[in-house]
Amino acid sequence: MSGFVSFVSAGPGDPELLTLKALARLRDADVVLYDDLASGAILDHARPGASLIAVGKRAGRPSAKQEHVNRLLVDYAATGVRVVRLKSGDAGIFGRLEEEIDALRQAGIGYEIIPGVTSACAAAAAGGIPLTRRHTSRRVQFITGADVTGQLPADLNWAALADPDSTTVVYMGKRTFPALVAKLIEHGMAADTPALLAESLGRDDQRLLRTTIGALAQELAQGVGPATAVILFGALAGDDS
């Protein structure tokens, strides 16, 4: 008898941002496979006695291989138990969700996806700004700042990213942001375009920095630190009214 896997989106780290459905699945799960950023107080909502297994992946640190995570999902579900795969942010945004889904499909195991608050929305909310504005900033674009090698992706749409009338959110981009900004300026974006750095969202050490893309690139070129972050840039990123 096959079990069932619930892909639960944990949001940026604040347990109060979990959905009711996410809480229900955590409280019913027999096994929880969780990311580093989907741990802490969020795991306090897991059922007492549930098996809690860390499978997080962090840049520059020893991490579980994706193939190993896929295998664990299949092996646990195949025993007939209820499995929660707890992912930070929204599971469908830069979370390698499709690889885990493919493994379950190949094994004939059922699953569901429970959406959550992605870091882009959490960062904008923490900064007291919207992601869009009528007449201006009518497009939002999410990009990853790192490819599979950890470098800035070479195939980004630079014309779209340099559009001053859009809001851009960069995930996993602190290390490569200086290179990204150099390309943005090369494609016409002003160095004084507003930027918002949001680190450790939803946690006690949360940090928000309002600056410009040029100044932020200079700061990050000196070192990035261990805190996870998203970076927003565009006209709205500088709105602190």
Which of helix, strand or coil describes residue 213? helix
Is there a contact between 88 and 54 (Cβ–Cβ < 8 Å)?
Answer: no
Q: Residue 39 is part of which domain span? A: 4-114
- pLDDT over 80 (residue 128): yes
The CATH number given to whatever domain includes residue 103 is 3.40.1010.10
- On whether both 81 and 13 belong to a single domain, the answer is yes
131-157 mean pLDDT: 92
Confirm if 122 and 11 have CB atoms less than 8 A apart: yes
28 shares a domain with 12: yes
205 noted as active-site residue: no
∠ CA 169-163-191 to the nearest 5 degrees? 80
Write out pLDDT tens, residues 200-219. Answer: 998 889 999 999 999 999 99
| pLDDT band at residue 60 using 50, 70 and 90 as cut-offs | low
Q: How far apart are CA 16 and CA 61, in angstroms?
A: 28
Q: Is 30 a catalytic residue?
A: no
Rounded to 5°, angle at Cα 35 from 31 and 41: 80
* Rounded average pLDDT over 31-56: 92
Q: Are residues 51 and 26 in the same domain?
A: yes
CATH code at 233? 3.30.950.10
Of the listed 14, 35, 90, 163, which one is catalytic? 35
The confidence band for 130, taking pLDDT boundaries of 50, 70 and 90, is very high
Q: What are phi and psi of 109, to 5 degrees?
A: -105, 135
Say which of 21, 57, 147, 183 is annotated catalytic: 57
pTM of the model: 0.90
pLDDT of 148 higher than 90: no
Same domain, 233 and 126: yes
User: What percentage of the chain carries pLDDT values higher than 70?
Assistant: 96
- pLDDT over 90 at 239, yes or no: no
Instruction: Assess whether pLDDT exceeds 90 at residue 137.
Output: no
Residues 87-122 pLDDT 10s: 999 999 999 999 999 999 999 999 999 999 999 999
- pLDDT band (50, 70, 90) for residue 13: confident
Shared domain for 101 and 129, answered yes or no, is no
Angstrom CA distances, 170 to 13, 29, 50, 52, 180, stand at 18, 33, 35, 30, 10
What is d(CA 229, CA 231) in angstroms, rounded to the nearest whole number? Answer: 7
